[in-house]
Amino acid sequence: MNGERTRESEGESNGATPRRDAPETGARDPDALLRRAGVRGDPNRDQHFLVDDRVLDRLPEYAAEANVDLSHVLEIGAGTGALTDRLLAAGERVTAIERDPDLAAFLRDEFAAEIDDGRLTVVEGDALEVELPEFTASVSNLPYGPSSELAFRLLPEKRPLVLMFQREFAERMAAEPGTDDYGRLSVTAGHYADAEVVEPVPKEAFSPPPAVQSAVVRTTPRDPDYEVDDEDFFMAFLKAVFTQRRKTMRNAVRNTAHISGLGDPDAVVEAADEDLMSARAGNVTPAEFADLATLAYEVGEPGDPQ
């Protein structure tokens, strides 16, 4: 997570954080880390640091209680290292990705002992662009802006995840068919894993507090209980029909061929089950979407989706 840098008066005349004896792993105070790093969050740039010790302590516990392998934990958006510290205490090895070069430099100094021991690797760069390491699980307080893109970079890796999101996003990710929150995000996430909201997190857990509530989602990877002929087309088909979730599936399939890439949407409507075509996307189960997407791929003359 990025932060706006402000210099502290003591020992920073050359712009570098002074090397100090490393605190005991798992004991670093999040507010003290902010002071040592000389940063503060900027709401205008979507910068909010998680500072609640109780929430920080629980994040790795959600993985541990599910018997997740923590031999190599990936953390995205490490910020000043408050969560990194807890992950090092809970697991064997951590790779922390941080885009902000000043914060990456701070992490390398603050956790010099852990890096020297081979227990921590700090990767400076954008988590959407850098090559991800082989990891056994990811526990991360994701930056809100790219959180959906980051989630869908991680989910296909088929590894357990404990991730912090905006609460609305988290609830949509774990929603069941027929509920108000159920949508494309629910089906897409469920294609890769079971997702559950394990804890709502108040605004006051962050510095500065964001404008929205947050929540922690835990995912357990699994294979879906259905098959699709072409995964890329399945995802494009979901994207298409959920743009018209208030329409019947009949109209949604016909009206969104420019998004799904279908060359003959009428053929799909004519071949599909009448009851399914009369339903709305919010009431269609993932397995039904898979069957319909398979049919559409076979008879709908799919081309390149938008």
Q: Which pLDDT score is estimated for 306?
A: 67
The amino acid at 173? M
Angle between helices 30-37 and 82-90 (to 10 degrees): 130
Whether residue 24 is predicted with pLDDT greater than 80 in this model: the reply is no
Statement: residue 9 has pLDDT above 80: no
Task: Read off the pLDDT of each residue in 272-296 and give the average, rounded to a whole number.
Answer: 97
Q: How confident is the model at residue 43 (pLDDT cuts 50, 70, 90)?
A: confident
Confidence class of residue 25 from pLDDT cuts 50, 70 and 90? confident
Say if residue 57 carries a ligand binding annotation.
Answer: no
The rounded mean pLDDT for the chain is 91
Beta strands, E only, the chain = 4-5, 39-40, 49-50, 73-76, 94-98, 120-124, 137-141, 161-166, 193-201, 206-207, 214-221
Is residue 94 a contact partner of residue 120, using CB atoms and an 8 Å limit?
Answer: yes
Per-residue confidence band for 14, with pLDDT thresholds at 50, 70 and 90? very low
pTM above 0.85, yes or no: yes
Express as a percent the part of the chain with pLDDT over 70.
92
pLDDT of 118: 98
Q: Where are the beta strands (DSSP E) in 30-114?
A: 39-40, 49-50, 73-76, 94-98
Q: Is 14 annotated as a binding residue?
A: no
Q: What is the mean pLDDT of residues 170-190?
A: 96
In the chain, the domains with their CATH numbers are: 4-221 (3.40.50.150), 231-299 (1.10.8)
The pLDDT of residue 5: 36
Closest CA to 165 of 227, 220, 215: 215
**What's the DSSP call for residue 16?**
-
Q: Give the closest residue to 188 by CA, choosing from 216, 154, 142, 213.
A: 154
Question: Between 19 and 230, where is the model more confident?
Answer: 230
* pLDDT over 70 at 16, yes or no: no
Helix axes 101-110 and 30-37, enclosed angle (nearest 10) = 120
Residue 103: half-sphere exposure toward Cβ, Cα within 13 Å: 30
Strand 73-76 and strand 94-98: pairing?
parallel
Model pLDDT, residue 19: 43
Would the annotation count 50 as a binding residue?
Answer: yes
> What pLDDT sits at residue 27?
84
Residue 275: CB partners within 8 Å, gap ≥ 6? none
| pLDDT band, residue 22 (cuts 50/70/90) | low
Residue 214's closest CA among 177, 169, 252? 169
Bigger pLDDT: 10 or 87? 87
Using CA atoms, how far apart are residues 186 and 181, in angstroms rounded to an integer? 8
Residue 48 annotated as binding site: yes
| Reported confidence tier of residue 23, pLDDT bands at 50, 70, 90 | low
Per the annotation, does 154 bind a ligand?
no
| Ranges 29-33, 43-47, 238-242: which has the least confidence | 43-47
The tens digit of pLDDT for each residue in 99-158 reads 999 999 999 999 999 999 999 999 999 999 999 999 999 999 998 889 999 999 999 999
Q: How confident is the model at residue 183 (pLDDT cuts 50, 70, 90)?
A: very high
Predicted local distance difference test score (pLDDT) of residue 44: 73
- Region 273-292: mean pLDDT is 97
